[in-house]
Amino acid sequence: MLLVDTSVWVDYFNDHPSPEAEQLAASLAADDPMVMLGLVATELLAGLRTDAEAERIGGMLGAFDAVPAFTESDYRSAAGIYRKCRAAGEMVGSVVDCLIAQACVSHGYRLLSKDSDFRKIARNTPLRLVELA
């Protein structure tokens, strides 16, 4: 199962060529199983300029299965990811990224992202990233 981070969706919706956006397009075309995390949807919808855009994109995102709600344990584990990376000398810029990573680790999802923070997290946790050739 694949979870796609905000940075990749932004490239995809803006027709900005990137290997990650191309992978997303290929995964969508192949109907690969994907899930949507509420945090990712929120980041995407917040960045849109109009309610009409948000309605259109929100409808598309609603077609994906939702990641189960975070538990208290998930929040604690996400904070642990942040501390673990910091202790390894790899600062993560956002605790939101730690929550996204925790959702992937907790449910066994692979993550497709352009964000370098996730590479730091993957070096210090069981997070599985989609590796592009």
Report whether pLDDT(133) > 90.
no
What DSSP element (H or E) covers 30?
none
Mean pLDDT of 23-30: 97
C-alpha 98/C-alpha 118 separation (Å) is 8
Cα 25 to Cα 29, 95, 103, distances in angstroms? 6, 28, 23
User: Bridge partners of 4?
Assistant: 112
CA angle 58, 114, 128 (to 5 degrees): 95
pLDDT (tens digit per residue) in 60-91: 999 999 999 999 999 999 999 999 999 999 99
Whole-prediction pTM: 0.94
Domain ranges of the chain: 2-129
Q: What percent of the chain has pLDDT over 70?
A: 100
Domain 2-129 has CATH 3.20.20.80: no
Q: Could you tell me the two tokens for 71?
A: 């538990």
Confidence at residue 85, expressed as pLDDT on a 0 to 100 scale: 98
Confidence at residue 42, expressed as pLDDT on a 0 to 100 scale: 96
